[in-house]
Amino acid sequence: MNPVARAEALFRATFGADPARVASAPGRVNLIGEHVDYHGGHVLPVAIAERTAVAVGSLAGRFVAVSEHGSRAEFGWPVQRAGQWSDYVAGVAQLLAAQVSAAPDGLAVAVSSDVPLGAGVSSSAALEVAAAAALASWWGLGTDPRAVAAIAHRAETEFVGVPCGVMDQMASAMAPEGSALLINCATLEVRPVPVAADLVLVDSGESHALRAGAYAERRREGEAALARLRSADPALEHLVDLAPGRLHEVLKSLPAPLDRRVRHVVEENQRVLRATDALVAGQFRAFGKLVDASHNSLRDLYECSTARLDQIVAAARGIPGVLGARLVGAGWGGSVLVVVVPGRGDDVARRLAGGAGGRPNAARRVKVGYAATVNR
């Protein structure tokens, strides 16, 4: 059964009634453009085929959320942050309830998902966006995908308290079927970009215990660099607005490690634009080289890789048919994306799973999916 049918069945079994709405949303894999979304840069994610479904209905005076893994969260209404998975739904519900004139006084939720957890494919954004699409539709707030992404992003930053950029929620709410989505994170303009290369994802299996603290530290470093550069150039809005031609000179004015962080952000943003042109022109080798350069920069300048991620990248790069490989998402664990000559993806996934690089890897071919939908 697909997650939508499973969420509906779980809702009925738990609450003894049909859900009022069911919506589903995908996880994402970012092809290139890492750690630039919160600096106003460009990113190029695809939706993956795996989706999370959220079924919702009325419940007087309480918030009850169940997941198909047997977890049940029960709170009063309005619901407070509890430090667990249900916060992603509760955050969206609180923000949307504030926009409804006859405010709801409770909520029943059932969640079902095929999106792997902790693998760097943004299971949290899939959950938030599916919840936002279901509730906004049910409560008559419309399902404009930009508004859905914005509510999901606010739930993550304001309610859950993770200072992430807008990429994951935008990708889950808006990525077109079968294509990547070029997002300008400063203006939120989007453009579909065809992806004909095969994609393989390798899960490092590393926990992301480090990730939250390190991510926030990188954001602080970026803000500190921007504040310094603004004292010389008050008109500078985002780090990505630094002209690449002036970068060398600008970096000399920054102390380490801020110089490395800024260099990554500016060059990574340029790589996204060049990678988009390469994909549009069908130049897979050029695209693969940019993917490789992205990993090297994340490893050496942004310092968010791990020995295990580097080992998987090196193993992948040694396999015939591989065009490029890099860590995806925030880093410090998660997954490696391997870009492969069209038609060779299954073979490369098999070789990585079979122990290329000295040990078996959790490798699988990525199927490109599509944005959030209201299913019922």
Q: Closer CB to ligand GLA, residue 183 or residue 315?
A: 183
Q: Closer CB to ligand GLA, residue 54 or residue 327?
A: 327
Q: Of these, 21, 24, 37, 45, which contacts ligand GLA (CB under 6 A)? A: 37
Give the shortest CB-341-to-ligand GLA separation in angstroms: 26
Tokens 């409560």: give the residue: 139
d(CA 81, CA 324): 41
Please pick, among 168, 198, 203, 292, the residue that the annotation labels catalytic: 168
Burial class (CB in 10 A: 0-12, 13-18, 19+), 140: exposed
Has 37 been annotated as catalytic? no
Q: Tell me which stretch binds ligand GLA (CB under 6 A): 32-40, 138-146, 311-319, 351-359.
A: 32-40
Q: Closer CB to ligand GLA, residue 37 or residue 114?
A: 37
Counting contacts by CB under 6 A, is residue 128 touching ligand GLA?
no
Query: Which DSSP category does 315 fall into?
Result: H
Touching ligand GLA, residues 173-202 (CB under 6 A): none
d(CA 135, CA 54): 9
Token pair recorded at residue 299: 């490893």
Q: Closer CB to ligand GLA, residue 21 or residue 211?
A: 211
Touching ligand GLA, residues 284-323 (CB under 6 A): none
Give the shortest CB-152-to-ligand GLA separation in angstroms: 11
- What is the three-class DSSP state of 91? helix
d(CA 43, CA 337): 15
d(CA 99, CA 109): 19
For residues 14 and 163, the answer to whether their CB atoms sit within 8 Å is: no
Counting contacts by CB under 6 A, is residue 168 touching ligand GLA?
yes
Counting contacts by CB under 6 A, is residue 240 touching ligand GLA?
no
Q: Tell me which stretch binds ligand GLA (CB under 6 A): 33-41, 51-59, 190-198, 249-257.
A: 33-41
d(CA 205, CA 330): 15
Q: Closer CB to ligand GLA, residue 168 or residue 206?
A: 168
Counting contacts by CB under 6 A, is residue 164 touching ligand GLA?
yes
For residues 134 and 22, the answer to whether their CB atoms sit within 8 Å is: yes
Give the shortest CB-168-to-ligand GLA separation in angstroms: 5
Counting contacts by CB under 6 A, is residue 268 touching ligand GLA?
no
d(CA 306, CA 304): 7
Q: Of these, 6, 35, 261, 344, which contacts ligand GLA (CB under 6 A)? A: 35
Q: Tell me which stretch binds ligand GLA (CB under 6 A): 2-10, 162-170, 225-233, 248-256.
A: 162-170
Q: How many residues bind ligand GLA (CB under 6 A)?
A: 11
Task: Please give the sequence-ordered ranges of beta strands (E in DSSP) within the chain, or none if there are none.
Answer: 21-30, 42-43, 45-57, 62-67, 72-76, 107-113, 179-184, 190-194, 198-203, 322-328, 335-340, 362-365, 373-374
Q: Tell me which stretch binds ligand GLA (CB under 6 A): 34-42, 100-108, 175-183, 249-257.
A: 34-42
Query: How is 118-146 classified by DSSP, letter by letter?
Result: TSSS-HHHHHHHHHHHHHHHHTT----HH
Residues binding ligand GLA (CB under 6 A): 34-35, 37-38, 122, 164-165, 167-168, 329-330
Active site residues: 168
